[in-house]
Amino acid sequence: MSNGLKIGIAGLGTVGSSLGQLLETKAQTLTKSCGKDLTVTAVSAANKDKDRDFDLYKAAWFDNAVELAEKADINVLVELIGGEDGVAYDAVKAALLRGCHVVTANKALLAKHGMEFAEIAEEKGVILNYEAAIAGGIPIVKAMREALSGNKISRVYGIMNGTCNYILTRMLADNMSFEDCLADAQRLGYAEADPAFDIEGNDTAHKLALLTSLAFGTQLAADEIYLEGITNITIDDIHAADELGYRIKLLGVAQKTDTGIEQRVHPTMVPTNSLVAQVDSVTNAVAVETDLLGELVMSGPGAGGMATASAVIGDLADIAKSREGAQHAPVFGNPVKELIEYKRAKMREHKGGYFIRLSVEDKAGVIANIATHMADQSISLKSIVQRAQNGGASDYNQTVILVTHATTEQAVRDTVEYIEKEGYLTAAPQVIRIEDPDKA
């Protein structure tokens, strides 16, 4: 048996503890598969005395993760601390500069510093793996970085945040408001006490930035993502989508256009019969559209200790099987110097279908006025639904739901702006994009 892989784990929370357990319970299987032992030789965490359900007595303890990265007897650092800066950044950089391989589940760190880390990894001839940073246990990074070599990718999209997917699923299944579903998600541990990072779309955006680089060979551009969260989605939107044959999902989408690359995270209506529409609760799914294979969809657990630890194990196994001195696959699929500068597409030129919900005064001429504004912008309507509120009395309000055929973002936004100026809206308009409506 060749020399084993000596692993240092920085961060022993839910994922770190699950990783330690898997490395213990799967030790014999991993040794046979990898041709060498995978041994935890050093660990670091905030609380040394906490019970973590795996044996730590053989591992050297470090109070500081950076010291572990610099001095421990390891050849791979597993960073599970979290955060885009601070100790996580210092530890990963120290390990790479030292010539250690790195495995991380930290999408925020990579979205901000991935280019710097990739350059160091290439210079030092070490591996930087991050399967666990995107969609939990789904092996999407390996698929895009290796298995899809030779394919031209035109679009990558998916459900990449379990918290949001759980909330949107429960709203429909149990006729619950967004606020009640969020509270339930927090009670069950699916949402943090401060859920803003998830429900405002930031978590999905970090993952999307990494997928965009892998898909299109661009430099990371996490600050160039169009971002909307799910806080404005109401139970009325959920019901209307269902009646029209759609589900609402928070999607991260990256695709090539004539004006550049779109990176966008926002609530999206997808046809009920599509695969992504059937991905419920905390499950994640990522779809890749290619020239050779068409569309590939991978789904599975997007979070949780064991799912994320499983992805880390896969990354460690890849490192264990790699030949010393061999040239390793570039971190983002292409060498850093060959990654092209990201060119952001003009979002107002985005083309697609739209769901528009308007609360209006129930009086003569309103519908005709709305139709006129639509026609003025050359917007073709797929369907229009009028629904009276408060029992349907003539002096009450009504809801008008419009579903468009493919049109531009600019046309929709201009139309809604003109309608708002007319003075007959009784509430803020709701606009939700529809992904590939004409394929439904």
Q: Rounded to whole angstroms, how far apart are CA atoms 344 and 232?
A: 26
Q: How far apart are CA 156 and CA 16, in angstroms?
A: 29
146 CB neighbour count, 10 Å cutoff: 12
Q: Is position 207 annotated as part of the catalytic site?
A: yes
Structure tokens, 257: 């256009």
48, 107, 112, 207: the catalytic one is: 207
Distance CA 81, CA 305 (A): 13
Residue 385, phi then psi, degrees to nearest 5: -125, 130
- 57 burial type by CB count under 10 A (0-12 exposed, 13-18 middle, 19+ buried): exposed
Distance, CA of 99 to CA of 332 (rounded, Å) = 19
Taking the C-alpha atoms of residue 363 and residue 294, their distance in angstroms, rounded to an integer, is 49
Looking at residue 45, its amino acid is A
For residue 245, CA distances in Å to 150, 364, 440 come to 36, 30, 9
- List residues with catalytic annotation: 207
